[in-house]
Amino acid sequence: MSRSLRLAVPLSLLLLPACASFSAPVPVDRQPDASLLLPCDRPAVPPEKLTDTDAALGWIDAVQKFLNCEARHAALATFVKGGK
């Protein structure tokens, strides 16, 4: 066995325990903003006698609540994937 091989084997064995310590998971204390975990708001129930104005306001309310929920969902997905 050559001299360099005789030195390489013991040195590589010394490095094995060091490699094992780097592969262990490191706990991270990350918590999403609590508002990201809230359920989506439901649109308001329209009145029994629906006017055109009521329908338009209901549509605006539903779209706004959807957009808010979509934004929270996107922020939560970014958090889970490790983004900022």
Task: Domain ranges for the chain, please list them.
Answer: 33-84
Contact 44, 61 (CB under 8 A): yes
Q: Where are the beta strands (DSSP E) in the chain?
A: none
Cα distances (Å, whole numbers) of residue 17 to 4, 7, 13, 14, 27: 22, 18, 8, 7, 20
pTM score: 0.60
Average pLDDT over residues 26-33: 79
pLDDT band for 43, please (50, 70, 90 cuts). very high
Task: Say which amino acid occupies 21.
Answer: S
Contact 63, 56 (CB under 8 A): no
Contact 43, 69 (CB under 8 A): no
